[in-house]
A and B are shown apart, each in its own frame.
Chain A
Amino acid sequence: MKIAVCFKIIADYDRLSGKDWEWDECRFVDMSFVRRVFNCFDESALETVLKLSRQLENVSDTVELTALTVDDEQGDLFLKHLMAVGYDHAVRICCNNRLDLRFNPLVISHLISRYIKQEGQKLVVLGMQGGEGDNGQTGFLVAEQLGWPCIREVIDVVRAESPDCLKVFSRIDGAILKQTIKLPMVLIMGHSLNSPYLRVPTLRQKLNAKKKQLTIVSNIELGLDNDALLNKDKTLMDLYGQKPGKSCVFLEGKTAQEQAQRLYDQYLKERLS
């Protein structure tokens, strides 16, 4: 079975302080000085599929895993990492760098679905949200373009009895839904307690991965010219920062006991009654 996981690399926002949130005249925020990380939901998706592929390999034919990102060269390092942990193919779809794809899930999903159609994967897994745009739409749109069913807020996926099906666990209003679904399908990962982190490759795996080739595909090769990548859906007019912070009053006190007493006397007493 051929499976693709789509992921996005984002700047680690947890490492930015309030004052770092500034943007230039094109409304780009400079984050070149913070480390980049896998978006957390995508990381879950990547690990979940690795676990799934182990299960499938035990029963069915060969499993072929593809990790896919739409990014510039900065994505390569992460793709190599994914090759080391067990992805067979690492694919980067590259576009003209000057194009602003941040708020354009439609175009991202076009690129992804074209690649999937070309390569014939039967399962596509993506994370549910994250990244600059916080769009939360890419997975749905990939499903639309492929014309496949789609399950959102997936927490786990495991092998089913029948080889053309998978068992999918997802969160819905007030319950967890366990469905057996026939392939093909798009899965959108939510909070996965089973696979929160991606595994770490061994030295040997890293070394072997170095020898493997990444696949770089341009939008043109996928049949989408630069004009097709423009955002015809919405136009960014402006960005706004956080409202100025409150002026927090710090409570002094030598011991925790003093601090707690002061907190209670000055602030909590009236509010707790």
Chain B
Amino acid sequence: MTLTREAIVEHLKNIVGKERVITDEQVLKENSHDRYKKFETIFGVYTTPIPAAVVKLADTNQVSDVLKFLNENKINSVAKTGGTATEGGLETIVENSVVLDGSQMNQIIKIDETNMLATAQCGVNLGELEDRLREQGFTTGHSPQSKPLAHMGGLVATRSIGQFSTLYGAIEDMVIGLEAVFPNGEITRIKNVPRRSCGPDIRHVIIGNEGALCYITEVTVKIYKYFPENNEFLAWALDDMTTGFKILREVMVEGYRPSVARLYDAEDGTQHSFDQFAEDKCVLMFMAEGNEHLARATAQGIAQIVEKYDECRKIDSRLIENWFNHLNWGPEKIAEERELIRKNLHIGFTTEVSGNWDCINTIYENAIKRIREEYPHIEDLTMLGGHSSHSYQTGTNLYFVYDYDVKDCKPEEEINKYHIALNALIVEETLKAGGSMVHHHGIGKYRTPWTKQEHGSAYYILKGLKDQFDPNGIMNTGTIYPVE
């Protein structure tokens, strides 16, 4: 028998204590969505069912007890830590869902300088962890734009990536060990070892699960020595993206590992004021980082490659450095964005995909072309562009960026009229060309129509995980896996 909303709240209070169960109407509304529905919610419209409660979890045992209860009663849960999700991962689409808020599990457990490990609870803010590490001369190397806001649990759960990924890798390259709780209450710990050959790497069941398989309670990442004094910025203006991709590839294939390697098209560059020094041009930039010798060699090697291309014109690196230093998003930027949206009915979204070197340019060109030609409300667009910000030996990502004036529609219609339609065109073009439809934000709840196509025959494995670990389907329903 399904429990009533009131009964769910009562049970939860008995498990974790009543001060940890929040039922304030406004808090619940805010917890029914994430940045995917930022437009309608700014105007006070909440179209997603409001959760029954938000539970502020104190420790792993509480996570276990609460999950067991929810599982037994088939109540949907939505895991949450920093709350910066962008793809609907936090939307409580099932009536009477319970939001499992881990933001108060915020202890940095250990910084182990010998083994170069840092262990933190899921609710530790990455910015705080970084500050602590940097005081001691270390860094995680993880630096997503949302660093001031996002927490370790969410960062692992989404397979996030930072701005220095080309050198340090993405979160999956950093996580050494984990603790996670499964819906039946089972607490599992994966130990911290440098490498092993003991069956499949089970960390990958947990990393990137978006709260759809288990709840991450603790994370251990590796740490690096931090040498910011050696950072060197390099930047060039160039005519088109094709050359830019070519250079990025060459840099990667030659074995250089700059921490930053980015390529902006002219449109996207404009919103970063790049047009002030590279009007109508693409901008290619790198940061060489690490110990003195490595940083210098990297910078020199890259410069040598780029300078072979006549089309490239060097840009004052201080411009890029100053820009880069203000790239992160803290709460004040979110506030600024909210007010701009409210006052000007103007909003921006992104869709991030990836592809091998041989198809990335095709994805870029086809997606932009298709939007320009087929998107019915192209007149409302104020910006349509993209950049690549994470490169690999084998390919790179593409971040499509689009802004628009919201015209002639109700707040709740905005997402369908604009973002969903634009996102679909990009995803289709990406899959058609052989790329991947999500590079680092997670599938969330809105790219699920393509999950099967993305994985093809391997969907069998993905599906198996859900059947095995969440047979009752109480873990963030509708996320990663389409609602059948």
| Contact of A201 with B276 in the complex, beta carbons under 8 Å | no
Known contacts being A197-B343, A200-B405, is A35 close to B383, with CB within 8 Å? no
The answer to whether A74 and B276 have CB atoms under 8 Å apart is yes
With A15-B322, A33-B321, A196-B343 known to touch, is A202 a contact of B276 (CB < 8 Å)? no
Contact (Cβ within 8 A) B340 A197: yes
Q: Once the chains bind, are A35 and B273 in contact (CB under 8 Å)?
A: yes
CA distance A33 to B322 in the complex (A): 7
On whether the beta carbons of B275 and A77 are closer than 8 Å, the reply is yes
Shortest beta-carbon distance, A14 to chain B, in Å?
9
Taking CB atoms and an 8 Å cut-off, the chain B residues in 215-233 that contact chain A are none
Interface residues of A in 172-220 (CB under 8 A from B): 196-197, 199-204, 206
Residue of B nearest to A203 (CB): B381
Query: Could you tell me if B326 and A203 are in contact, using CB atoms closer than 8 angstroms?
Result: no
Contact between chains at B405 and A202 (CB < 8 Å): yes
C-alpha gap A34/B380 in the complex (Å): 30
A32 interface hit (Cβ, 8 Å): yes
B384 within 8 A of A: yes
- B272 and chain A: residue at smallest CB distance: A35
Q: A36 an interface residue at 8 Å Cβ cutoff? A: yes
Checking B319, B322, B323, B382 against A200 with a beta-carbon cut-off of 8 angstroms, the contacting residue is B382
Q: State whether the Cβ of B346 lies closer than 8 Å to any Cβ in chain A.
A: yes
Q: What chain B residues lie within 8 Å of A32 (beta carbons)?
A: 316, 318-319
Tally of B interface residues using CB under 8 Å = 26
The answer for the CA separation of A33 and B315 in the assembled complex, in Å, is 10
Instruction: List, in ascending order, chain B residues with CB within 8 A of A200's CB.
Output: 344, 346, 382-383, 403, 405
Chain A minimum-CB-distance residue to B385: A203
Complex Cα–Cα for A74 and B273 (A): 12
CB neighbours of B326 from chain A (8 A): 15
Shortest Cβ distance from residue A34 to the other chain B in the assembled complex, whole angstroms? 5
When C-beta atoms are compared, the residue in chain B nearest to A36 turns out to be: B276
Contact digits for B306-334, partner A, Cβ 8 Å, 1 yes 0 no: 00000000001011011101100000000
Task: Assess whether A33 is in contact with B318, with CB atoms less than 8 Å apart.
Answer: yes
Give complex CA distance A77, B319 in Å. 17
- Contact assessment for A204 and B322 in the assembled complex, using a CB-CB cutoff below 8 Å: no
Find chain A residues with CB under 8 A from B378 CB: 203-204
Chain A 26-51 per-residue mask, 1 if CB under 8 angstroms from chain B, else 0:
00000011111000000000000000
Nearest B residue to A74 by beta-carbon distance?
B276
Can you name 12 extra interface pairs (CB under 8 A) apart from A33-B319, A35-B273, A77-B275?
A15-B322, A15-B326, A33-B316, A33-B322, A34-B322, A35-B322, A35-B323, A197-B340, A197-B343, A203-B381, A203-B382, A206-B382
Residues of A at the B interface (CB closer than 8 Å) are: 15, 32-36, 74, 77, 196-197, 199-204, 206
